[in-house]
Structure 1
Amino acid sequence: MNKLNNIMVALIFSVSASFAADVFTLDDCLRVARENNATLKSAKVNRQMAEEAEGSAFPAYFPKVFAGGFAFIANDFLVKQKMDFSKEMEGLGQQVAPAMMQAGIDPSMLAGLPTTFNMGMVDKGIIGHLTLIQPIFVGGQIYNGNQLAKIGTRAAKLQETLTETEIRKNTETYYWLIISLKEKLKTLAEAEKQVDGIYSDVQVAVDAGVAVKNDLLRVELEKKKLQSNRLKLENGISVAKLMLARQMNRDNADFDLADADLSQVTPPESYAISADDAVERRAESKLLAISREAAEKERSMERGKVLPTVAVGASLLYQNLLDDDAVNGVLFASLTVPISDWWSNSYSTAKLDLKAQKAAIDEVENKNLIKVDIDAKWNTLNESFKQIEISRDAIAQAEENLRIQREFYNAGTATLSNLLEAETLRQQAADSYTEAVTGYYTAVCAYLTATGR
């Protein structure tokens, strides 16, 4: 019987667990977002496409081999020739006439024989070839083309990194927003508990005739205000969870977040890094360098179009035109100089020169802006940390003020309004601390992102 009971309990717990909402930590949210986010998946596909394009550019170094052939049947001979044998027939007649006369044959019969003939050949046939061409020099276009393909792959990887960084930033932002709202709910619950206690004390005082009913209505109004704030917080959590679910590519927001410890905060110095080093770590800086490098390669590609092209090759030929198989081998070399393109190419090359100059200017300017952004994020981080220290002091003062006002109210030396105001100040101080801590962690994420980490 005990064994049956144990099985039933296990089944109940397993069913309950299957219907329970998932509970995520920050690391869980980041992991799920990395695995499932649709935008990141798209960026990964773009990176894979760039890798395939790089792979398809490399075989241009190798010889090109191609085969071809055709068979035909003509309605007449392709090669024709009319042949005149009149002189030969005249000589033949003189030679054979005596013999014909001896045989009793009239030699004049020879005059009736035709002296011209039409000859023709090649009315069907088969031709085939196997050809190999090895480019020796094509103005550097093969090399530069491969370099551009590699640059494309590097750029796609950096874009994937930027996308992942943006998703991480958004995920952390919504995570800390939800944590902030949940902590505010806890503070609100504590305030409701305090106001309920005040309501009970006022009710007793009203019943004893030492307080007026208006005081009771004032406390009830405060309770209504807290209920309204609770509704706003719960709605805010619902919306923030939907946004977080979107980052994790979940169909619904049927999950919860594990409580976060907001009491211990790591100081900003633990995250500090040199701004100059951070600029070079940023994916945006690397993309700027890649953009400049790509512009230079495009310019080299354009110049290569008007340089001589040298190639060597070999071809194996097969033909059957006269009902006789024949196989030949051919070695050849080619040199091509696109002289007529020199004029137009000078303009396109000049345009790409300007493009490369602009890319170099943009790289320097945007790196300066990135450094400014890093400094701004660092200042925000330090400011957020100082706000935490200020909020801690404010909480201590608000709690002490509430304690004093409660003692004064119980002693009859303070009004109910003073007590309710003290409770409101304590709640605001607690909310300010929550906002300061969650804002600090958001600032940490922003600083790490700005420094390429």
Structure 2
Amino acid sequence: MNKLHIKIATFILGLHSALLATDIYTLDDCLRIARENNATLKSAKVNHQMAEETEGSAFPAYFPKVFAGGFAFMANDYLVKQKIDMSSEIEGMGQQFAPTMMQMGLDPTMLAGIPTTYSMGMLDKGIVGHLTLIQPIFAGGQIHNGNQLAKIGTKAAKLQEHLAETEVRKNTETYYWLIVSLKEKMKTIAEAEKQVDAIRADVQVAVEAGVAVKNDLLRVDLEKKKLESNRLKVENGISVAKLMLARQMNLGDSDFDLAEASLDNIHPPEEYRISTDEAVERRAESKLLAVNREVAEKERSMERGKVLPTVAVGASLLYQNLLDDDAVNGILFASVTVPISDWWSNSYSTAKYDLKAQKAAIDEAENKNLIKVDIDAKWNTLEESFRQIEISKDAVTQAEENLRMQREFYNAGTATLSNLLEAETLRQQASDTYTEAVTGYYTAICAYLTATGR
């Protein structure tokens, strides 16, 4: 093969490798992608924005309300009509002017033909318009309490967003460490397969030498099949865990891999501990309980405000053209409204909101106690997980030493193949237990930090 062919082959292999390249994520990468893409978190952010818009729309209630209106009309007849009787005036006029008319050679009876009644009408078309401003002075505290409720709604939506982010982080870390744990188990299985292959080679030699029977080879082959079965289970577990992690990160598929994670950077649990009372107050759930109580109190105030007097002042500018003549007028006015008929029913609804506020206060105290229990439980789990690491680490050391001794004994002919295979199984189990203890400890750290509002 000449140099040109070598270069072409190298280019094609490099291109193929690039096309098959898989994204490699660290824990920080997974958390960042989840924060940016997670659908639940996006929905919580939209709810927060909606609450902010609601708060903004409530504030203008403090300002005057300005509105304009008008109408024009054209009727098929006059809207205002009046008949005028002139009979007495015309009779008097006839008596007054009769001599003069006779002198002029006119017949006074002609005055009798003059109509004695007349009809007068007006307003068959017109235009009316107005510009009105009303400033509420007092509305039973409903404007103030309404704005306070809107602010509390924004605060609650922000806390809900924080809760969603916390949940996404916890789930992401849980699936991340699950995958790390399973990948470490794959390494343990690979190491066990090497050990079993080495044992099989030794048994094969022993069988050929006539110092072992073929049944020993069968036992080793069964152990290999068991390892293959375990490998398949772990591979399937990794596949499912990747799908769940991809869902948290809102990725289209699970075609990614995780960077090698260090399991040696272990800090004692005391470095993460804070006061339980402080942790309770830091929890978003505790703050939401306080928000729920505030909402109940504000709703009670709003209900009471419905039966208080409402006072407002205003001004209006009027324009009208009804008699073919433009006219502009200005009006200042004040209004006081007292909903007397609502006093009776409001006494019952106010009592209901009083009970609702009491219930919110009771729920807050009770749930804070439950949160405290949850924090203590998470701390106990964290301490237990740390101790499990120390125990399982010693178990790994003992299992490896036992395997070494059993191999020496088997080679010396003082131990059976079953003892050697059992020692290998114990070493594998001890290694898996240690891996689960370490990844479980990292998961417990995340759970405790979440429980303490961090």
What is the TM-score with the length of structure 1 in the denominator? Answer: 0.97
Residue 58 of structure 1 corresponds to which residue in structure 2?
A: 59
**CA-to-aligned-CA distance 1:116-155 (integer Å, 9 cap, x gap):** 1011111111111110000000000000000000011100
Q: 1:288 Cα shift?
A: 0.4
Q: 1:73 Cα shift?
A: 1.2
**One-letter code aligned to 1:81:** Q
Does structure 1 residue 441 correspond to structure 2 residue 442?
A: yes
Structure 2 segments unaligned to the other structure (5+ residues): none
Structure 2: distance between partners of 1:185 and 1:394: 19
Aligned positions of 1:394-405 closer than 5 A: 394-405=395-406
Does structure 1 residue 387 correspond to structure 2 residue 388?
A: yes
Structure 2: distance between partners of 1:127 and 1:373: 70
Residue 31 of structure 1 corresponds to which residue in structure 2?
A: 32
Q: 1:14 Cα shift?
A: 6.0
Name the CA shift for 1:4/1:306 in 2 (closer, same or farther; >3 Å): farther
Residue 92 of structure 1 corresponds to which residue in structure 2?
A: 93
Structure 2: distance between partners of 1:305 and 1:18: 69
**One-letter code aligned to 2:68:** A
Q: 1:12 Cα shift?
A: 6.0
Does structure 1 residue 415 correspond to structure 2 residue 426?
A: no
Matched position secondary structure for 1:71? strand
Structure 1: distance between partners of 2:176 and 2:164: 18
Structure 2: distance between partners of 1:282 and 1:114: 96
Does structure 1 residue 254 correspond to structure 2 residue 259?
A: no
**CA-to-aligned-CA distance 1:216-270 (integer Å, 9 cap, x gap):** 1110000000000000000011111111111111121111111111123111111
Name the CA shift for 1:347/1:4 in 2 (closer, same or farther; >3 Å): farther
Residue 349 of structure 2 corresponds to which residue in structure 1?
A: 348
Aligned positions of 1:8-407 closer than 5 A: 13=14, 16-407=17-408
Structure 1: distance between partners of 2:126 and 2:70: 11
**One-letter code aligned to 2:139:** V
Matched position secondary structure for 2:78? coil
Structure 1: distance between partners of 2:262 and 2:328: 85
Q: 1:10 Cα shift?
A: 7.2
Structure 2: distance between partners of 1:285 and 1:328: 59
Q: 1:110 Cα shift?
A: 1.0
Which segment is superposed worse, 225-234 or 258-267?
Answer: 258-267
Matched position secondary structure for 2:28? helix
**CA-to-aligned-CA distance 1:53-103 (integer Å, 9 cap, x gap):** 111110000000011111111122111111011122123223433443344
Name the CA shift for 1:7/1:354 in 2 (closer, same or farther; >3 Å): farther
**One-letter code aligned to 2:35:** R
Matched position secondary structure for 1:315? strand
Q: 1:193 Cα shift?
A: 0.5
Structure 1 segments unaligned to the other structure (5+ residues): none
Q: 1:165 Cα shift?
A: 0.7
**One-letter code aligned to 2:98:** A
Structure 2: distance between partners of 1:96 and 1:7: 134
Structure 1: distance between partners of 2:9 and 2:224: 44
**One-letter code aligned to 1:128:** G
Name the CA shift for 1:369/1:255 in 2 (closer, same or farther; >3 Å): same
Structure 2: distance between partners of 1:61 and 1:363: 32
Name the CA shift for 1:107/1:258 in 2 (closer, same or farther; >3 Å): same
Matched position secondary structure for 2:106? coil
Q: How many corresponding residue pairs?
A: 453
Structure 1: distance between partners of 2:104 and 2:9: 131
Identity of aligned residues (%): 81
Structure 1: distance between partners of 2:21 and 2:292: 50
**One-letter code aligned to 1:52:** E
Structure 1: distance between partners of 2:55 and 2:7: 61
Name the CA shift for 1:3/1:207 in 2 (closer, same or farther; >3 Å): closer
Q: 1:11 Cα shift?
A: 8.1
Q: 1:390 Cα shift?
A: 0.5
Name the CA shift for 1:359/1:392 in 2 (closer, same or farther; >3 Å): same
Structure 2: distance between partners of 1:15 and 1:431: 36
Structure 2: distance between partners of 1:147 and 1:8: 71
**CA-to-aligned-CA distance 1:266-314 (integer Å, 9 cap, x gap):** 1111111111100000000000000001100000000000111100000
Matched position secondary structure for 1:340? helix
**CA-to-aligned-CA distance 1:380-402 (integer Å, 9 cap, x gap):** 00000000000110011001111
Matched position secondary structure for 2:314? strand
Structure 2: distance between partners of 1:15 and 1:141: 69
Matched position secondary structure for 1:399? helix
What is the aligned-residue RMSD (CA, Å)? 1.8
